[in-house]
Chains A and B, each alone.
Chain A
Amino acid sequence: MSDRLGVRKTYKLYLGGTFPRSESGRSYSVSGASGEFLANAALGSRKDVRDAVVAARAAFGGWSGATAYNRGQVLYRVAELLEGRRDQFAAEVATSEGLSAAEALRVVDAAVDRWVWYAGWTDKIAQVHGGANPVAGPYLNISTPEPTGVVGVVAPRESSLLGLVSVVAPAVATGNTTVVLASETRPLPAVTLAEVLATSDVPGGVINLITGRVAETAPRLASHRDVNAIDLTGAPADLATALEVAAADNLKRVLRRPPSEPDWTADPGLGRLTAYLETKTVWHPIGV
Chain B
Amino acid sequence: MPFEYAPAPESRAVVDLRPSYGLFVDGEFTAGSGTFTTVNPATEEVLAEVAEAGPADVDRAVAAARRAFGPWSALPARERGKYLFRIARILQERSRELAVLESLDNGKPIRESRDVDIPLAAAYFFYYAGWADKLGYAGLGPDPRPLGVAGQVIPWNFPLLMLSWKIAPALATGNTVVLKPAETTPLTALLFAEICRQADLPPGVVNIVTGAGATGQALVSHPGIDKIAFTGSTEVGKQIARSVAGTSKKVTLELGGKAANIVFDDAPMDQAVEGIVNGIFFNQGHVCCAGSRLLVQESAYDEVLERLKRRLGTLRLGDPLDKNTDVGAINSAAQLDRIRELSDAGDAEGAERWSPPCALPDRGFWFPPTVFTGVTQAHRIAREEVFGPVLSVLTFRTPAEAVEKANNTPYGLSAGVWSDKGSRALWTASKLRAGVVWQNTFNRFDPASPFGGFKESGYGREGGRHGLEAYLDV
Contact = CB atoms under 8 A, between A and B. Distances in A.
A70 to B, nearest CB: 16
Interface in A248-278: 248-251, 253-254, 256, 269, 271, 278
Contacts of B454: 148, 278, 280
A143 B448 CA distance: 10
A143 B450 contact: yes
A269 B140 CA distance: 10
Contact of A143 (B244, B439, B455, B464): B464
A29 interface: no
Interface string A130-143: 00011111010101
Interface stretch (B233-241, B296-304, B305-313): B233-241
Given A143-B464, A251-B253, A280-B434, A135 B449 contact: yes
Nearest to A134: B448
A280 B245 contact: no
A9 interface: no
A248 B450 contact: no
Contacts of A133: 446, 448-450, 464
A248 B241 contact: yes
B242 interface: yes
A284 B425 contact: yes
Contact of A280 (B237, B248, B436): B436
A128 interface: yes
Contacts of B237: 251
A284 B448 contact: no
Contacts of B459: 251, 253
A285 interface: yes
Interface string A57-85: 00000000000000000000000000000
A283 B437 contact: yes
Interface centre among A135, A271, A282 (most CB of B within 10 A): A282
Given A133-B464, A251-B241, A279 B452 contact: yes
B466 A248 contact: no
B456 A251 contact: yes
B465 to A, nearest CB: 8
Contact of A244 (B245, B432, B461): B245
B145 to A, nearest CB: 15
A284 B241 contact: no
Given A133-B448, A141-B448, A251 B455 contact: yes
Interface size band for A: 35 or more
Interface in B243-257: 244-246, 248, 253, 255
B456 A250 contact: yes
B431 to A, nearest CB: 9
A110 interface: no
Contacts of A284: 425, 439-441
A273 to B, nearest CB: 12
A249 B11 CA distance: 48
A283 B449 contact: yes
A254 B438 CA distance: 28
Contact of A241 (B141, B246, B412, B436): B246
B365 interface: no
Contacts of A215: none
Nearest to A284: B439
Interface residues of B, number: 44
Contact of A281 (B253, B436, B440): B436
A141 B449 contact: yes
A281 B450 contact: yes
B444 A280 contact: no
A240 interface: yes
A279 B440 contact: no
B238 A248 contact: yes
Contacts of B350: none
B435 A283 contact: no
B123 A136 contact: yes
A281 B241 CA distance: 24
Interface in B219-235: 234
Nearest to B464: A133
Given A136-B446, A251-B234, A279 B461 contact: yes
B253 A278 contact: no
A228 interface: yes
Contacts of A282: 426, 429, 436-439
A136 B127 CA distance: 11
B58 to A, nearest CB: 23
B371 to A, nearest CB: 25
Interface in A166-217: none
Contacts of A148: 454
A278 B455 CA distance: 9
Contacts of B441: 139, 283-285
A141 B446 contact: yes
Contact of B455 (A139, A228, A241): A228
Contacts of B439: 282-285
Given A228-B455, A251-B459, A281 B449 contact: yes
Contact of B139 (A128, A139, A250): A128
Interface in A218-255: 228, 240-242, 244-245, 247-251, 253-254
A226 to B, nearest CB: 11
A251 B245 contact: no
A247 B245 CA distance: 9
Contacts of B71: none
B438 A283 contact: yes
A282 B442 CA distance: 11
Nearest to A241: B246
B72 interface: no
Contacts of A240: 246
A251 B257 CA distance: 14
Contact of B458 (A139, A247, A251, A254): A251
Contacts of A251: 234, 237-238, 241, 253, 255, 455-456, 458-459
Nearest to A144: B430
B238 A137 contact: no
Interface centre among A137, A254, A280 (most CB of B within 10 A): A280
B410 interface: yes
A138 to B, nearest CB: 10
Given A143-B450, A279-B450, A283-B437, 19 more contacts: A136-B446, A137-B446, A244-B241, A244-B246, A248-B242, A250-B455, A250-B456, A251-B241, A251-B255, A256-B248, A278-B435, A279-B466, A280-B429, A280-B454, A281-B436, A281-B449, A281-B451, A282-B426, A283-B436
Interface of B: 123, 139, 141, 234, 237-238, 241-242, 244-246, 248, 253, 255, 410, 412, 425-426, 429, 432, 434-441, 444, 446, 448-452, 454-456, 458-459, 461, 464, 466, 474
20 contacts: A129-B139, A133-B449, A133-B450, A135-B444, A139-B444, A141-B448, A143-B450, A245-B245, A251-B234, A251-B237, A253-B459, A278-B412, A278-B435, A279-B450, A280-B432, A281-B450, A283-B436, A283-B441, A283-B444, A284-B439
